[in-house]
Amino acid sequence: MKYLLWVLVIALAWWVLTRPRKATHIKTEKSEASAQEMAQCAQCGVHLPQDEAVCGEKGLYCSTEHRSIAQDRNPA
Ligand SMILES: [Zn+2]
C-alpha cells in the first residue's frame, strides 16, 4: 500500500512537471505564428503588417506615395 502511494506521488509529480512545459511550448508556437507585428501608416492611418510597411524618417507608411505626401524620405 505504501509503495502504491509513492507511485501515485511520483506520477503526480511527473504530470505536474511535464504538463506546463508542453502548454508553454504550444503557446509559444501559436504566438510566433500569429504575432505578426502590425504597423500604422503615418499618413492615412491604415494598419498593415510591418514587413509590408514602407519605412520613412518620421514613421512607417502603407506606400511610397503616402511617404512622399508626408514629405518624408527613406532613411536608408
Ligand atoms: Zn497610407
Give the model confidence (pLDDT) of 43-57 as tens digits. Answer: 999 999 999 999 999
Stated pTM of the model: 0.52
Query: How many angstroms is it from 76 CA to the middle of ligand 1?
Result: 20
Average pLDDT, stretch 2-30?
A: 77
Query: How many angstroms is it from 33 CA to the middle of ligand 1?
Result: 26
C-alpha cell at 42: 503615418
Alpha-carbon distance values, 10 to 22, 36, 69 (Å): 18, 41, 67
Q: Which amino acid appears at position 54 of this protein?
A: V
Do residues 62 and 41 lie in contact, with contact meaning Cβ atoms separated by under 8 Å? yes
d(CA 42, CA 9): 58
Residue with cell 512537471: 17
Query: How many angstroms is it from 29 CA to the middle of ligand 1?
Result: 31
Query: How many angstroms is it from 58 CA to the middle of ligand 1?
Result: 13
Confidence band of 25 (pLDDT split at 50, 70, 90): low
Would you kindly state where each structural domain of the chain is located, as residue ranges? Answer: 1-35, 36-76
